[in-house]
Amino acid sequence: MSASTDILFKPFDVKSVNLPNRLVMAPMTRRKSPGNVPGADVAAYYRRRAEGGIGLIITEGTFINHKAANGYDNVPDIFSDAALEGWKHVVDEAHAGGAKIIPQIWHVGAQRLTGVEPDRSVPGYAPSAIATGDREVPVEMSKADIDEVIAAFAEAAANAEKVGFDGVEIHGAHGYLIDQFFWERSNQRTDEYGGSFESRLRFGIEVVEAIRKAVSPDFMVVFRFSQWKIDDYKTKIAETPEQLEQFLTALSNAGVDVFHCSTRRFWQPEYEGSDLNLAGWTKKITGKPVITVGSIGLDDPSWAGAKSTDVDELIRRMGEGEFDLAAVGRQLLSDAEWAIKIKEGRLDKIEPYTQKSLSGLK
């Protein structure tokens, strides 16, 4: 690392949220919440990242109040009394550690398999009865199902505000439910929620609008999206900048405050003829704050070819105004103090990420 890290640690404001710096903890599913309730160990895990210098924590995905929303055992919900009490403790601990914190709310859609809690008899629900990848064929959602899920997203956001979170992130990426509506391959509906690109955006737009109505005007709404899917890393929702503009403008007008632009490698350009990554294009189009993410801080070349101590490219791009915030994922599992070690130049003390970091709540 040769460049000054000062820009990474400059404060940044979004609405009424005053972030102490530009570093974000990316959402990462941990499956450490038995009974779908985040416990004291989860709260301590997030507090360590706050004390380690992260400005904004985005929690692991927490599922909304719909029978088919969850896709994995031992992940937290955001509607039961016990889970909300647990989240209140998580929020208090993160704030005490010096960070802001928002939950990522999600519905996994067709990624759900029969046999997963809370009701193991419930199959996956999706825009169309189409299996993506090697999965079960899901139930095609009726209009009543769609209305119920939209209401559940709004309820989740209101619950997040009630327990003291600083905002909420909507999971609209990676081939989960909202993204399944966006993606032509998984959305073959013939009603107002399918068909044209514009119609496939309708569900996501209505989720954002419902959330915006359910929370106070200053409550921060973040939307995470991606081009790639779990089942197809090469696909794109928006093949051209013009399509991306249509996509982003609709969501921005619906009430998104911040876009979290998920890529696998943040330094790769999104479209030919420009060095801008997906976050850079998003900022150019919307003018709204954006978060970049993708292999920041990874030391193993089999993952990305980046070094945990090499943030020069991140600093350069942020300094040029390409994006405002940077989300760090797996590196924070191995070293909760990664951010402060980068700031203080203690690069030789950084613990590199390995797959062993996935176990436990270090």
Residues serving a catalytic function are 176
C-alpha–C-alpha distance, residues 295 and 306, integer Å: 7
Burial class, 125, CB count within 10 angstroms (exposed 0-12 / middle 13-18 / buried 19+): buried
Phi, psi angle pair for 261, to nearest 5°: -100, 100
Q: Specify whether the CB–CB gap between 314 and 326 falls below 8 A.
A: yes
Q: Specify whether the CB–CB gap between 182 and 218 falls below 8 A.
A: no
C-alpha–C-alpha distance, residues 50 and 289, integer Å: 21
Annotate 303-334 with b (16+ C-beta within 10 A) or e (fewer).
ebebbbbbbeebbebbeeebbbbbbbbbbbbb
Q: Specify whether the CB–CB gap between 282 and 236 falls below 8 A.
A: no
Quick one: which of 314, 313, 309 has its CA closest to 297?
309
C-alpha–C-alpha distance, residues 252 and 109, integer Å: 23
Quick one: which of 157, 164, 288 has its CA closest to 210?
157
Quick one: which of 211, 203, 243, 251 has its CA closest to 227?
243
C-alpha–C-alpha distance, residues 66 and 350, integer Å: 41
